[in-house]
Amino acid sequence: MPELSAPPTPPVSLAALLADDTLGLRLIAGLPDAPTEGVAVHWVHTSEMADPYPYLLGGELLLTAGVQLTDAHADTYVRRVVEAGAAALGFGVAPVYDTVPDSLVEACGRHGLPLLEIPRRTPFTTVARGVWRLMAEARHRELRRVTEAQQGLAAAAARPDPVPAVLRQLAVRLGGRAVLFAPDGAELHATGRDPAPGSRTALARLARVVNPPGGAPAPRGSASASTSASVPASAPASATDTVGDARLAAYALGGGQGLVLGVAAGGREAGDHTVTGMAVVLLSLLTAPHQGAAEAARSAALVRLLLGATPAEAAPLLGPGPWTVVHAHGGDTPFAASALAAALGSALADTDGTTVRVLTDRPVTAQPGWTLGASAPVTPVDAAALAEADTHARRALRRAEATRADVVRHREPGPDALTALVPPEEAAAHARARLAPITGSPALTETLRTWLSLHGSWDRTAVALAVHRNTVRQRIARCAALLDADLDEADVRMDLWFALRRL
């Protein structure tokens, strides 16, 4: 018989039917010592044909009263039912037989066909109605599970770190592992547990099926493939495989980025494919490049810089602002920079692998898991002001780490009665003369500035500068020697602090 696909309704396990006391079914052969949870019933069919094979589609609970059954024919009958792919055989003890024939019990035992005894009080229509009821309940559970998963995935997509959040939610819903693969096959982000030994390696291999090295982007709507097959010239949009009891799947995400979603689950539940499909759509949208009017203007600024324009000419394209430069430490995923930028209301982010820098026109607030240093808002926007703001943000981040604060904002020194007494040009001249012995060493100048700002704390200065406390002591001692100053004196410290502010 040609292999037919299962019906759209969820199947009912044989164990669920046997557990229904209203039906009174009893397993008497076929699987007496084996679990019946894995036997799936897709529909019910009643037949009194001597050979029901031509009328079976597979997966049925076949019901019969044995009208044409004989002891000599029992083995052939059961063998044909098994060949047709029936899930189980239900035998009604009325009106033809008072008990299930021994020949039928023996034949079902030999061929491994579950045999159910249907009592006199249970008509075949009641059995069919019980199956449909259990299917409706299973369908309701599936729809509820899909709805809850949809809500969970949507909420995850709205988080500041949407891509890792969606992957975590998918792994929880499937009870397994979810991985986002880069175009070169590397794991960009992974979450969840491996459902079986070897599933991680098999999933990485499966990802290369939908995005083979050097291959073209997967066309939408392609048929699924298996890892046992050779990689086609035009890669499929999805592929499936199994490792032990674990079910693996890989999906090429849209947007032309070459990204692949891989999932590994310990089993298969109704609705898994729908839940994964929703995650594929969300991840395709979240990882695809988007550009609005503001982003287009900022891209134009970058293009002008690359084509030889000066920063002063490109900076105004950012928009009126005011703009704030943020330096940050924290985050442990490849999406950390973009996630922080999104949380701060910006798409302008950069990272050197240690520090994330963000340019935003929104107010800067503390972010969970991050330590932030923010410049004062810059307006009007020009290249020099942004460069100065970048320096202020870096210093603010050092101070935040030294004081263990979530966020520190740079504050411009305001005029006070003392500094206002000295003309700015005279103050600057005094600063240059006073600090001349150390101005040739940025390390000494910055160490002295940080040490004074932190009230002479060796440990906090070491944290702020990311050096050893002994290095701080050596540098401060060097400053004291070059400046010929007693840094234990408050007046000396104050004089040097004012000079550093005016330098």
pLDDT in tens, the chain (503 residues): 444 444 556 788 888 899 999 999 999 988 755 556 678 898 899 999 999 999 898 889 999 999 999 999 999 999 999 999 999 999 999 888 989 999 999 999 999 999 999 999 999 999 999 999 988 888 888 888 888 888 888 888 888 788 899 999 999 988 899 999 988 888 888 899 988 888 888 999 988 888 876 554 443 333 333 333 333 445 678 888 888 888 889 998 876 678 899 999 887 777 788 888 888 888 888 887 655 556 666 667 667 666 777 777 777 777 767 889 999 998 766 577 778 888 888 878 888 878 889 988 888 988 888 999 999 888 766 778 888 889 999 999 988 888 888 999 987 655 454 555 566 777 788 888 888 988 889 899 999 999 888 888 899 998 888 889 899 999 999 999 998 888 888 888 888 888 888 77
Residue 56, CA atoms < 13 Å, CB-side half-sphere = 30
Structure tokens at 165: 């959040």
Predicted pLDDT at 2: 41
Task: Give the Å distances, CA to CA, from 33 to 29, 36, 62, 118, 134.
Answer: 9, 9, 21, 19, 24
Where on the phi/psi map is residue 84: left (φ > 0), alpha (ψ -120 to 50), or beta? alpha
Strands 115-118 and 176-181: unpaired
Return d(Cα 405, Cα 463) in angstroms, integer: 13
The DSSP symbol for 315 reads G
- In angstroms and rounded to an integer, the radius of gyration of the C-alpha atoms of the chain is 36
Predicted pLDDT at 117: 95
Predicted pLDDT at 4: 47
Crossing angle (nearest 10°) for helices 458-465 and 442-453: 130
Where does residue 435 rank: exposed (0-12), middle (13-18), buried (19+ CB within 10 A)? Answer: buried
Predicted pLDDT at 235: 65
Predicted pLDDT at 292: 57
Structure tokens at 169: 């939610």
The model scores a pTM over 0.85: no
DSSP structure string for 232-297: PSS--SEEEEEETTEEEEEEE-SSSS--EEEEEESS--TTHHHHHHHHHHHHHHHHS----HHHHH
Crossing angle (nearest 10°) for helices 162-174 and 124-157: 160
Where does residue 260 rank: exposed (0-12), middle (13-18), buried (19+ CB within 10 A)? Answer: buried
Q: What is the pLDDT of residues 44-72, one digit of tens each?
A: 999 999 999 998 988 899 999 999 999 99
Q: What is the pLDDT of residues 422-464, one digit of tens each?
A: 667 777 888 888 889 888 898 999 999 998 888 888 999 988 8
For 156, residues 6+ apart whose C-beta sits below 8 A from its C-beta are 162, 165, 166, 168, 169
